[in-house]
Structure 1
Amino acid sequence: MISHLIFLTTALTAISAATAATFTIRNNCPYTLWPAAVPGGGRPLNHGETWIINVAAGTAAARIWARTGCSFDPSGRGRCQTGDCGGVLDCRSYGQAPNTLAEYALNQFNNLDFFDISLVDGFNVPMDFSPSSGGCSRGIRCAADINGRCPAQLRAPGGCNNPCTVYKTEPYCCVGRPQDCRPTDLSRFFKGLCPDAYSYPKDDQTSTFTCPGGTNYRVVFCP
């Protein structure tokens, strides 16, 4: 019985290791970013630098984003102009809008990974979010000049807000009657520039992508 349990534990450990995912985060922007990840934490990346995080199988509601305009003291306390996560370098909570999001959930239904780029929290830095192993090749890119073309009512220091952040009302936030959630003229602005990205909360059909569990991924800022 003990040997059977040891075998089972070893097998489960092997499966978990095989289906965990590695995320390679790269800064191609010509300026320093402070990428953040939940789970994962956060750190500065100069142009051309990479940061690798390993994420456990089964992780859900996870995200990676870029912070800009940051300043931290030696203890890791400070602030960022966009994407700030409670004034700390090593993030444990999600970032403040506006920020471009890479979202994912690993080993879900039918052992598939689900991943997307979301502009529901607005936009701050162009992003590519793509699989890098396992024969899965369909990635997502949002590289348009959204900040430069942002409607006046959505402009924010360092980024472009999603309309829900600005107006906090039902047509944009889809919280009171989510079954009636529809695109708006302002969400169509984002969709027109980044067709594969989430532009409003119910934008699932054209914005969620899958790969087999165990796939590795890369997130590139300023692709």
Structure 2
Amino acid sequence: MKCVLVTGGSRGIGSAICKKLAIEANYHILINYHSNKTAAEATLQEVQKLGGTGEILGFDVSNYEEVQATLTKWQEANPEAIVEAIVNNAGITKDGLFMWMTPEDWNGVVNTSLNGFFNVTQFFIQKMLRNKYGRIVNMVSVSGVKGTAGQTNYSAAKGAIVAATKALAQEVAKRNITVNAVAPGFIRTDMTSQLDEKELLKLIPVNRFGEAEEVADLVSFLISKKSSYITGEIININGGIYS
């Protein structure tokens, strides 16, 4: 059984990715969630409706021990399963000006995005190296390449993953493992629902927010065999707001 793990797969872009992979990739889909089990189950139902197979896995990506325990238990229960692809999508925002930022708001955001990438990817990387195949896609953000005021914590976390993507890509390329990052701009999801869309449209050359499905299309391509010669890349998907 060949699998793809999507962290933060229950809602928004993560859910769209799971649904897209159900149609386009021949993978059993592991849908990770942290707190919203109902949303994860709804995504799984959609995956099954679209003809895919999957299951939900609850764990906090920022908690190393929890990640290790949950994934080890899953691997032991599924000894034949091979996780060939990982989408590191889990992330949170706690926006605010840096001068007033609390250690909790800094650490929460950095731990989820950056340490989550380490905890999950590191669990599987040796197996991928042994199998001589793998696809790792890290969800970053326009904030991680351009920087965004009020998001110093989020920009720091995503910018660190940008650099880690480039470094890890060089380490594992000889074993047919690609590592890329996708940097969305303003995408219509729960996470952006509080933003003033009318005001922000003035900044976006294509004059609209992106759709989660459009990001999922790009991720699906990077997970596929078609993208074999692309690695260490940060691909912006932001309607021309920044390149």
Alignment TM-score, normalising by the size of structure 1 = 0.30
Task: Work out which structure has the larger RCO, using CA pairs closer than 8 Å and 6 or more positions apart in sequence.
Answer: 1
Greater C-alpha Rg? 1
Structure showing the higher strand proportion among its residues: 1
Alignment TM-score, normalising by the size of structure 2 = 0.28
Structure showing the higher helix proportion among its residues: 2
